[in-house]
Chains A and B, each alone.
Chain A
Amino acid sequence: MKFEHREIPDGINVTDVHPLKELVVLLSGATILIVALVYILGLSAGFMAPYIPFDTEKRLTASFPVEAPADTAVEHYLQQVTDRVVEVMDLPEEIEVTLHYSDGDTVNAFATLGGNVVVFRGLLQKLPNENALAMLLAHEIAHIKHRDPIVSLTRGVTISAALAVLLGFSDLDLMGEAGVYTMLHFSRTMEQQADSEALQAVYTLYGHTHGASDLFDTISAWHKASGNSEGVEFMQSHPLDQKRIKTLSAQATSKHWPQAGETTPLPQRFIDGLKGQ
């Protein structure tokens, strides 16, 4: 018997595909998969979460300590405006709004679980008039009315769990970013709807929508002054300032709501109270 070396044809054990092409195909496939998954989960969470009774939502927050409201001129006035806003906003019966004033420099306000709205001194000090304050409160109360906090919580928990199962045990945690950016889309929609609802409330209260532009001009000016460039919209939880102002102005125009009018000044004791006097 004769034994000899036979050459093996080269490359039969390796598929000839360019690695970069493979990367593009796989990456776009995985991105589409994750975006679609997050979108579907996000939609279903948004559909189902509002069926959670408000009482249950309230019980979720019952265990968190909350500062007892002090009886100051500031809180008194805030409560007064809130009551007026709530009245025109047509909230479902079981929902109640609790306002909290926080003596912090943060330029922010937010609505959270259990109908709680928190406003910071930092933002209040920048507001030019009562109309802008009413717009701000109406925006946060609109979040409560739409059940946005519980929807966001449900959405966040569902989507993070799904992504953890899908990507948790691989080197692909980075692909989770595709999911995060998809989730922000829902957040921006919520903001837009809250803006629109708040504009309606401000119009009902004052007969014009001057407060809306005042509020967003204030926020936009602060963003610019603090050097926070807004960046790309798909990476933000809120729509860009200019876009919000434009959308609201378009809404007012289409409904023939006057966009200018006499503004109600903030009472002096409120302004003094914010300064800590």
Chain B
Amino acid sequence: MTNLIIFLLLMTLGYLVGQVAEKKHYKSIIQREKRLSGLPTIASRFPPTDRLFDQSLVMGNTVISVDYFKRFIAALRNLLGGRVTSYESLLDRARRESLLRMKQQAEAMGAEYVFNVKYETASISKGRNNAIGSVEVLAYGTALIACGPSDEV
């Protein structure tokens, strides 16, 4: 019975706190994405050749954990199979946040574009089985900072 009460408490707490945290995070993500929309991030490896650019490595890194509620749902999914929707928003948030951090760094350098953008995703719960439900997402790319007119090429 005590087990059940502790479980229900953790579930309620996880759900409420997790939902509030997620809503708040998404709000901030959307806001910053709008603000940084003037700085394109491009997957292509080939930068424009019409002008000269300084190049610099930029990266953004995020580690996010799920709440108790979502982890329980994911564990049930392991039993029955299907889409682990409770982890989808976790990864979505981590990727977008990482990209934003990378863009912020590029913006601070006065970059015009970030090329060759890539993601790395790692689970940081290795060896701890189900004790930690966290992911790390690293976004990195090459920031192009204009340094001269095209006729100097």
Binding site for B on A (CB under 8 A): 1, 3-5, 7, 10, 13-15, 17, 19-20, 22-23, 26-27, 29-30, 33, 166-167, 169-172, 174, 177
Contact = CB atoms under 8 A, between A and B. Distances in A.
A171 B7 contact: no
Given A17-B85, A174-B7, A5 B37 contact: yes
Interface string B74-112: 011111100101101101100100000000000000000
B71 A15 contact: no
A19 B83 contact: no
B147 interface: no
Contact of B48 (A3, A166, A167): A3
Contacts of A10: 30
Contact of A26 (B37, B48, B77, B88): B77
Interface of B: 3-4, 7, 15, 19, 30, 33, 37-42, 48, 69-73, 75-80, 83, 85-86, 88-89, 91-92, 95, 113, 129-130
Contacts of B79: 30, 33, 166-167, 170, 172
Interface centre among B77, B79, B86 (most CB of A within 10 A): B79
A145 B32 CA distance: 76
A14 B129 CA distance: 25
Contacts of B83: 15
B65 to A, nearest CB: 14
B76 to A, nearest CB: 4
A42 to B, nearest CB: 20
A26 B80 contact: yes
A22 B77 CA distance: 10
Nearest to A23: B73
A3 B19 CA distance: 36
15 contacts: A5-B41, A15-B88, A19-B73, A23-B69, A23-B72, A26-B73, A26-B76, A26-B77, A26-B80, A30-B76, A33-B79, A169-B129, A170-B78, A171-B72, A172-B76
Contact of A27 (B41, B76, B129, B130): B76
Given A3-B40, A3-B42, A3-B113, A171 B86 contact: no
Contacts of A7: 33, 37
Given A3-B42, A3-B48, A29 B80 contact: yes
Contacts of B129: 169
A40 to B, nearest CB: 17
Contacts of A29: 76, 80
Contacts of A33: 79-80
Contacts of A20: 15
Contact of A170 (B38, B41, B88, B130): B130
A14 B48 contact: no
A33 B85 CA distance: 21
A5 B39 contact: yes
B120 to A, nearest CB: 17
